[in-house]
Chain A
Amino acid sequence: LPTASKPTVIAVDDDHSIRRALRNQLRLAGFNVLVFDSGQRLLRRKLPRTNACLLLDVYMPEMTGVELYQRLTAAGRQMPAIMMSARDDDETRGLMRHAKAAAVLFKPFDEKTLLAAIRKVLRKQADGPHGRNAPKSVAPF
């Protein structure tokens, strides 16, 4: 497959070993992978706009995944996001819901779950109003 058509997963996690593992795993599964250790670093970078999704850890020291997502949205850089957390409780689920995450994952998750979430989110994006698969023109009648 040509590299350009590979979807991109942009993962943000403050945990080094998780970044390392996710990068290897997702590359082997056929994705382009970008990893960041904090929201601040991601905000400074130019990101692909289509055929890409975010994989955001909720609890990070300086800026939470939820805040990062809100900042991106506010800056007009919409992108579907999967929220992930090692903490599974009402409070965290509430945060994720509030952030309008396209999918949620609780660590530890297996590859099947991870890939299913990524594919679902990418498909949604492609079918969405600005997506690749969106109808080019709408019939007036």
Chain B
Amino acid sequence: MGGTRRRAWRHFEGALFVFRNYFLALFHMVRVMIGAVSVSRQAVGRADSMGSSVIPRLSAGGGSRRGRPFAGGNGSSGHKRERFELLVDQLSTAMARASVDEIEDQINHWLSRIVSALNVDRGTVWETTASKNGFVSKYWWARPGVPGLPPKMLSARISPWITEKISRGESIAFSSLRELPKSSAALKQFLKTHGPKAMAALPLEVGHEVIGGLTFGKFHGPRDWRPRELQRLRIVAQIFAAALGRKQASLQMMKIRDELVVASRRSTLSQLTASIAHELNQPLAALLSNLGGLARLLSQENHKPAQACSTVRNAIADTKRAAEIVKRLRNMFRAGEIVREPLEVGPLLREVVKLVANESMFRRVALRIGDLADPLWVFGDRIQIQQCVLNLLMNALDAAAQAKTPSPQVDVTAEAYQSGWIELTISDNGTGLDSEIADRIFEPFVTTKTNGMGLGLLVTRSIVERHGGKIWFSPNPYGGSKFSFTLPTAYGMGETARRRAPEVSARTSDLGHGAERRNMEQLGDAGKLG
């Protein structure tokens, strides 16, 4: 009893951990969205409030003293400012419209446009490193002839001073190397030979967290940064930060979804510990018994080389069997990359059935796998698909065993569904589901088990849907439940897959499209003649 409770608690703890991460990611995502909205409002407000009193003072002070081009409010720079403002508006719209997958391309595209509009030479987006000790170059765009950046260049190696400032959420702009503080002599030396001679560096912030940096450099000669221009760049940084934050949150979400899938797989594995131990102990027992006999054969001085030899051969077979079990388990439960490939349904199902064969024997449930007359091929990730079958099988075993029917039984079948789809069905003759539960059975935390978390079906559905398929429940006509899901057919796998499509169309046309069916048959005949 205690063991069961402890096990249930461990499951609960594991699931709790996964869900904590899940909600943290959700929270992060919401924060990013709120951040993006409020940030752009603030930015616009701040830009407007800068007003005329601030800008002339700064630009006059900086510009007239040094007398650089672009300084001051002459006509041409006013025109440029307008163009840049327009660009920022377009950028804002484009980024808001971009899907998560498009963000990377959009950033690269807009970096080039902003660099051109600012009349600088290189623009770089930096990302905070995992260890938060600075930034690495992530995206950059440079004019022809201007050096790029090696991938994953550490910002702290170029300048710890700038890195630290940006990490604190401060911006830096210098018009020439002369403006750099005395303490950064090394940086000055480096920039003199390799780097930009004028630079603006801004933090990329989501909420109050610095997730990266944005830098623009002018390599040939000095360049003044007007406050209004820096203000616009701050907005650019905020737009970039919101987009990158969105991308990061989405990646994190995907990672957590994958973790949930793996956690669910591990939880199933822990439920199968007893039957896995049982399965492994069988060949080990045979091995030990064979070796015991062999020791006797060799010590009794009744030399029977033939018998000794066959005993050794049996022992080898037992060892291989044990190794095979371990290999199968590793294959089934490894948490690796998701690989989509053509898979033959028969062997795929048989492997899962083998895994739960002992479990069904312990529970006295007859487990049957339907005849697969033709080889059926699906396209997907083997481990994930097997996980779906395993989840549904374990549920079915539970239901059948609990029902206390005289002959509890679970059936696994696979058949062509509609053109391009294969349907897998796991049915049991257990107690079935109340209609009220049946409607919500794929939602989280909905379960009929006393020791379940109600995550198995949620994970199963998410896997099926990521494969493009669908999953549904129907009552088993013979009592109990029936869970079915579809997977895409892997075309081009043998002749069967290609032949199957018209066959299935013919079957669906039984429902009243007689003419269509005749056409199909004619087509088939024509095919034969040809």
Query: In the complex, are the beta carbons of B277 and A21 less than 8 A apart?
Result: no
Specify which chain A residues have a CB less than 8 angstroms from the CB of B317 in the assembled complex: 17
Query: In the complex, are the beta carbons of B282 and A86 less than 8 A apart?
Result: yes
Query: In the complex, are the beta carbons of A21 and B282 less than 8 A apart?
Result: no
Specify which chain B residues have a CB less than 8 angstroms from the CB of A87 in the assembled complex: 274-275, 277-278, 281, 362
Query: In the complex, are the beta carbons of B277 and A86 less than 8 A apart?
Result: yes
Chain B: minimal CB distance from A134 (Å): 32
Chain A: minimal CB distance from B396 (Å): 18
Chain A: minimal CB distance from B487 (Å): 31
Q: Choose among B283, B285, B295, B358 the residue with the greatest number of A CB atoms under 10 Å from its CB.
A: B285
Chain B: minimal CB distance from A107 (Å): 3
- Whether A127 is near chain B, meaning CB under 8 Å from some CB there, is no
Chain B residue nearest to A25 in the complex (CB): B293
Specify which chain B residues have a CB less than 8 angstroms from the CB of A25 in the assembled complex: 289-290, 292-293, 296
Chain A: minimal CB distance from B275 (Å): 8
Segment from A1-9, A39-47, A69-77, A108-116 that makes contact with B: A108-116
- Whether B314 is near chain A, meaning CB under 8 Å from some CB there, is yes
Query: In the complex, are the beta carbons of A28 and B297 less than 8 A apart?
Result: yes
Q: Choose among B290, B293, B321, B358 the residue with the greatest number of A CB atoms under 10 Å from its CB.
A: B293
Chain A: minimal CB distance from B421 (Å): 34
Specify which chain B residues have a CB less than 8 angstroms from the CB of A114 in the assembled complex: 289, 292
Specify which chain A residues have a CB less than 8 angstroms from the CB of B30 in the assembled complex: none
- Whether A29 is near chain B, meaning CB under 8 Å from some CB there, is yes
- Whether B288 is near chain A, meaning CB under 8 Å from some CB there, is yes
- Whether A59 is near chain B, meaning CB under 8 Å from some CB there, is yes
- Whether B205 is near chain A, meaning CB under 8 Å from some CB there, is no
Query: In the complex, are the beta carbons of B274 and A108 less than 8 A apart?
Result: no
- Whether B318 is near chain A, meaning CB under 8 Å from some CB there, is yes
Specify which chain A residues have a CB less than 8 angstroms from the CB of B3 in the assembled complex: 89-90
Interface readout for B292-312 with A: 1 if CB under 8 Å, 0 if not? Answer: 110111001000000100010
Q: What CA separation (Å) do A21 and B297 show in the bound complex? A: 13
- Whether B348 is near chain A, meaning CB under 8 Å from some CB there, is no
Q: What CA separation (Å) do A135 and B289 show in the bound complex? A: 37
Q: What CA separation (Å) do A22 and B274 show in the bound complex? A: 23
Q: What CA separation (Å) do A59 and B285 show in the bound complex? A: 15
Query: In the complex, are the beta carbons of A17 and B314 less than 8 A apart?
Result: yes
Interface residues on B, range: 20 to 34
Chain A residue nearest to B280 in the complex (CB): A86
Q: Name B292's contact: one of A59, A60, A85, A111 (CB within 8 Å).
A: A111
- Whether B37 is near chain A, meaning CB under 8 Å from some CB there, is no
- Whether A61 is near chain B, meaning CB under 8 Å from some CB there, is yes
- Whether B286 is near chain A, meaning CB under 8 Å from some CB there, is yes
Query: In the complex, are the beta carbons of B290 and A21 less than 8 A apart?
Result: yes
Specify which chain A residues have a CB less than 8 angstroms from the CB of B362 in the assembled complex: 59, 87
- Whether B8 is near chain A, meaning CB under 8 Å from some CB there, is no
Q: What CA separation (Å) do A111 and B283 show in the bound complex? A: 15
Specify which chain A residues have a CB less than 8 angstroms from the CB of B288 in the assembled complex: 108-111
Q: What CA separation (Å) do A62 and B134 show in the bound complex? A: 66
Chain B residue nearest to A24 in the complex (CB): B293
Q: Name B296's contact: one of A18, A29, A109 (CB within 8 Å).
A: A29
- Whether B287 is near chain A, meaning CB under 8 Å from some CB there, is yes
Specify which chain B residues have a CB less than 8 angstroms from the CB of A85 in the assembled complex: 278
Chain B: minimal CB distance from A16 (Å): 9
Q: What CA separation (Å) do A108 and B287 show in the bound complex? A: 8
Q: What CA separation (Å) do A24 and B304 show in the bound complex? A: 13
Q: What CA separation (Å) do A24 and B297 show in the bound complex? A: 10
**Given the contacts A28-B300, A29-B296, A59-B361, A18 and B277 also touching, CB distance less than 8 Å:** no
Query: In the complex, are the beta carbons of B281 and A86 less than 8 A apart?
Result: yes
Q: What CA separation (Å) do A59 and B300 show in the bound complex? A: 34
- Whether B284 is near chain A, meaning CB under 8 Å from some CB there, is yes
Interface readout for A61-94 with B: 1 if CB under 8 Å, 0 if not? Answer: 1000000000000000000000001111110000
Specify which chain A residues have a CB less than 8 angstroms from the CB of B274 in the assembled complex: 87, 89
Q: Choose among A22, A28, A59, A90 the residue with the greatest number of B CB atoms under 10 Å from its CB.
A: A28
Q: What CA separation (Å) do A107 and B358 show in the bound complex? A: 15
Q: Choose among B274, B292, B297 the residue with the greatest number of A CB atoms under 10 Å from its CB.
A: B292
Query: In the complex, are the beta carbons of B292 and A17 less than 8 A apart?
Result: no
Q: Name B282's contact: one of A15, A28, A111 (CB within 8 Å).
A: A15
Query: In the complex, are the beta carbons of B278 and A21 less than 8 A apart?
Result: no
Q: Name A109's contact: one of B283, B285, B300, B361 (CB within 8 Å).
A: B285
Q: What CA separation (Å) do A13 and B200 show in the bound complex? A: 79
Query: In the complex, are the beta carbons of B293 and A61 less than 8 A apart?
Result: no
Specify which chain B residues have a CB less than 8 angstroms from the CB of A17 in the assembled complex: 282-283, 286, 314, 317-318, 321
Interface readout for B250-294 with A: 1 if CB under 8 Å, 0 if not? Answer: 000000000000000000000000110111011111111110110
Specify which chain B residues have a CB less than 8 angstroms from the CB of A86 in the assembled complex: 277-279, 281-282, 285
Q: What CA separation (Å) do A106 and B274 show in the bound complex? A: 13
Specify which chain A residues have a CB less than 8 angstroms from the CB of B321 in the assembled complex: 17
Can you report 17 A-B residue pairs in the complex whose CB atoms are below 8 A from each other? A17-B283, A17-B317, A18-B282, A21-B286, A28-B296, A28-B300, A29-B296, A61-B361, A86-B285, A87-B275, A87-B278, A88-B277, A89-B3, A106-B281, A109-B285, A109-B288, A111-B289
Binding site for B on A (CB under 8 A): 15, 17-18, 20-22, 24-25, 28-29, 59-61, 85-90, 106-111, 114
Binding site for A on B (CB under 8 A): 3, 274-275, 277-279, 281-290, 292-293, 295-297, 300, 307, 311, 314, 317-318, 321, 358, 361-362
Give the 6 A-B CB pairs with smallest separation, nearest first.
A107-B285, A111-B292, A86-B281, A21-B289, A25-B293, A108-B285
